[in-house]
Amino acid sequence: MAKDVLCSVHNCQYWKQGNQCSAEQIYVISHTGQQAGHQRETDCKTFKPADLQ
């Protein structure tokens, strides 16, 4: 299992300084069933927009 999960999506509520992800779990899905042939066929379902008030 990965020790560090990196994220460069600054408007995610789990994004922390240094491109660290602070989510307790990461959920990634494939658009093509249970296997993906390329990263563009996947999405991180853990993403939640940060409250940018």
Give φ, ψ of 40 to 5 degrees.
-65, -10
What is the pTM assigned to this prediction?
0.78
Instruction: Give per-residue pLDDT as tens, 16-51.
Output: 999 999 999 999 999 999 999 999 999 999 999 998
Residues ≥6 apart with Cβ < 8 Å to 46: 14, 21, 23, 25, 26, 27, 28
Number of domains the chain is built from? 1
Per-residue tokens: 44: 């991180």
39-46 long-range contacts, CB within 8 A, separation 24+: 46/14, 46/21
pLDDT category of residue 52 using cuts at 50, 70 and 90: low
Regarding beta strands 20-21 and 42-44, do their DSSP bridges make them parallel or antiparallel, or are they unpaired?
A: unpaired
pLDDT category of residue 53 using cuts at 50, 70 and 90: low
- Range 8-12 average pLDDT: 95
Q: Which domain holds residue 51?
A: 1-53
